[in-house]
Structure 1
Amino acid sequence: MPDPSPPIRVALVGSGGIARGVHLPALADMGERVEVTALVDPDEALMARTAAEWRVPGRYTDLHAMLAAESPDLVVVCAPPAAHKDTVIAGLDAGAWVWCEKPPALSLAEYDEVARHEGGEGGEGGEGGPFASYVFQHRFGSGAEGLRHHLAQGTLGRPLVGVCNTLWYRDAAYFEVPWRGRWDTEGGGPSMGHGIHQMDLMLSLLGDWTEVTAVMSTSARETQTEDVSMAIVRLACGATVSVVNSLLSPRETSYLRFDFEHATVELEHLYGYDNAHWRWTAAPHVDDGDAAVASWRPEEDVPSSHRAQLAALLDSMERGERPRAGGHDGRRALELVTGMYRSAIRGETVRRRDLTPDSGFYHAMHGGDPRAAASALTRTETGTSV
């Protein structure tokens, strides 16, 4: 028998809650496929506790020192959003593949700058990697994969109407973390940091958007950004989708609904789903509709999770191909968020093709004027700030 491939050597940047509670357990579930060799964090005490708990040998406070000493195959970025761009670029330039938490970057300009560093020496996205991918784990459950299969087969007919809601609750104390709710450190509010998961799942299933009309408000939280957003989105496939993102909703839910010609498909969950969270309803005109709808359920029940996405990423690394949720495929949701901010702040319908480098919103979600953005998000019916 051939010798097994050596494990993929992994380093994590950030050793806080998302690393301890999600990424390190997902890596442990990969068994001998991976070896976690190092942590990077400026908080030495936190890093030491995390490293001891997970038996990680390498401990660094400097990213570049770690990259030089460890030469990891994969860098997992668990740092706050403002650090994403520079951390991902450093990993790619060191020859590592990178898996980065959401949001991918603070702007489309940052995302596109990262993309120019993919593909090894010389960058510009050359074949074989290294590539960057972003944490959009809801794509990877068996429910979404099953729906994706039906869409490819055309069995549901055309998508016509959609609903994409992220109705969550975050109290005032949540925003006391210094980087939250700030344009310069988080990039935006629930549209950017929370609803982006459901919007990515919707776009990964139905494809690119063409135009968006949005409203946003800062209604109840001390934040520079919005705490509620609503949008009407037109998709290239012809469907129209309503999108709501809220951090003010005591009964929390994540809800997606897609009305196709021959069936309605619904998903309701909170932070993750399995097959039981999906519901399919046949259209009245469909013969043997109940039987047809019952056949959707996949043989396996794979929950949406970081673990499922990580396994797919490792497969892509081993094949030397761009992973899902990277490149254009990873840009869609960030692009939609950008269009929503431009629409809400400027009071206009925004076309996807308008988000070019000569737009201020390409470079920052507030469009280059955070004070004007704040005024737009807090105006009353009479147009005056509250």
Structure 2
Amino acid sequence: MTSRSYTCAIVGTGAIAGAHAEAIAQLAGRARLVGAVDVDVDRAAAFAASWDVPAYPTPAALLQDGRPDLVHVCTPPGTHLPLALECLAAGAVPVVEKPPVLSLAGVDRLRAAEEATGVPMATVFQHRFGSGAVRLRRLVAEGALGRPLVASASTLWFRDDDYFAVPWRGKWELEGGGPTMGHGIHQFDLLLSILGPWRSVTAIAARQARPTDTEDVSAALVRFESGAVATVVNSLVSPRQTSQLRFDFERATVDLEHLYGYTDAHWTFTAAPTAPDVASAWDSGPTDTPSGHTAQLAAVLDALDTGGTPPVSTADTRMTMEFVAAVYASAFTGGTVEQGEITDGHPFYDSMAGTGAPWPTTSSR
């Protein structure tokens, strides 16, 4: 495979931008940071100085003068769509932090722009790219573990009231949702990448304690096309924080417990008593790659080198975002939502809030 060196820029120089800059630095020879921009000019200047790159006054100036191959979009969620569209129009590949947009309608606008410009984009779901997840997907594809039967994904985190003092947090129109949209999405995106297409969702959501317009807890029961069933729980009110996934197959159980990122050591493999030989399958394959931005960026560059579609594609992203919309639609209407049900004209197509949360807004509390 012939590899080339790609120029990268960062839009939005808040906390997560450092992870992107570090990933670019880790791939020196394949990627090079060439500029940064932020609405906070002083913050942009400080960030750019720390990475020895120029700071640009606007994204338009960065795209015109810096002409990066890739643009890492690290701004608040409500700004992702216009920035990604601007990058696509300029011929730069957007690498967009989660959640990539605020609605299914936004995903479809991005897919249309990709087709019109011929430029791909990637959503940052970095947990897909640790060696444990890569190995598990391979074993599932090969059928080595038997049919998937039961699974769970739990994101039990704690965010206090001060966390939501940031103006865009906890607002439907700016963040798009609560932990279902912006926190647990990493765990259940990994779940979906392992188990494949989902069929139906039945969910509840609640605002238990936090001063938000969005939920701070949700729980869903999911049925997959494979016949597997799973539970997905997302919380921002859990003092003992953990991120957990469990997959029960016919021949083995595979567990993952971590917090914000994992290594091979965070995985546990348990062979069924009737299939002790399957343990050797888990011991084969890729090892020692932690989940993170470096692993995903390397995969994106690999795809670009071969003219392929960078992971995570908009098609993959849509499956995850449709799941998010289904959780809210089910929770707020009280019914089960089928895959493919939320289309243009559906209340939850243009906004995750849909028909409205079943609790008052914070302004009326």
> Common fold, TM-score beyond 0.5?
yes
The equivalent residue for 1:305 is 292
The equivalent residue for 1:37 is 34
The equivalent residue for 2:163 is 174
Gaps of 5+ in 2: none
Verify: 1:359 aligned to 2:359, yes or no.
Answer: no
Amino acid at match of 2:291: S
In structure 2, relative to structure 1, the CA distance for the partners of 1:52 and 1:275 (3 Å cut) is: same
Note the 1:121-200 alignment, pairs <5 A. Answer: 122-123=116-117, 129-200=118-189
- Match of 1:181, SS state, is coil
- Confirm or deny: 8 A CA contact 2:110 2:314 kept in the other structure: no
51, 64, 67: which one aligns with 1:68: 64
The equivalent residue for 1:17 is 15
The equivalent residue for 1:47 is 44
The equivalent residue for 2:328 is 341
The equivalent residue for 2:255 is 266
State the 1:314 CA deviation: 0.8
Note the 1:46-125 alignment, pairs <5 A. Answer: 46-57=43-54, 59-119=55-115, 122-123=116-117
Distance 1:340 1:312 in 2: 30
TM-score where L is the length of structure 2? 0.96
Amino acid at match of 1:320: G
- Match of 1:229, SS state, is strand
Amino acid at match of 1:15: T
In structure 2, relative to structure 1, the CA distance for the partners of 1:143 and 1:295 (3 Å cut) is: same
24, 27, 32: which one aligns with 2:24: 27
Amino acid at match of 2:359: S
Distance 1:331 1:267 in 2: 24
State the 1:7 CA deviation: 2.3
- Match of 1:31, SS state, is coil
- Match of 1:360, SS state, is coil
- Confirm or deny: 8 A CA contact 1:213 1:233 kept in the other structure: yes
Q: Percent identity?
A: 50
Amino acid at match of 1:16: G
Verify: 1:373 aligned to 2:362, yes or no.
Answer: no
Deviations 1:168-218 (A, max 9, x none): 111111000000000000000000000000110000111011110000100
In structure 2, relative to structure 1, the CA distance for the partners of 1:159 and 1:376 (3 Å cut) is: farther
- Confirm or deny: 8 A CA contact 2:184 2:234 kept in the other structure: yes
> Cα RMSD over matched residues?
1.7
State the 1:5 CA deviation: 6.2
The equivalent residue for 1:382 is none
Deviations 1:144-183 (A, max 9, x none): 1111111111011100101110001111110000000000
Deviations 1:315-337 (A, max 9, x none): 11111111121121122111101
204, 211, 218: which one aligns with 2:200: 211
Distance 2:3 2:282 in 1: 36
- Confirm or deny: 8 A CA contact 1:41 1:47 kept in the other structure: yes
Is 171-180 or 5-14 further displaced after alignment? 5-14
Distance 2:286 2:186 in 1: 25
Distance 1:316 1:130 in 2: 13
Amino acid at match of 1:110: G
Equivalent residues, number:
362
Gaps of 5+ in 1: 124-128, 379-384
- Match of 2:138, SS state, is helix
State the 1:37 CA deviation: 1.1
State the 1:232 CA deviation: 0.2
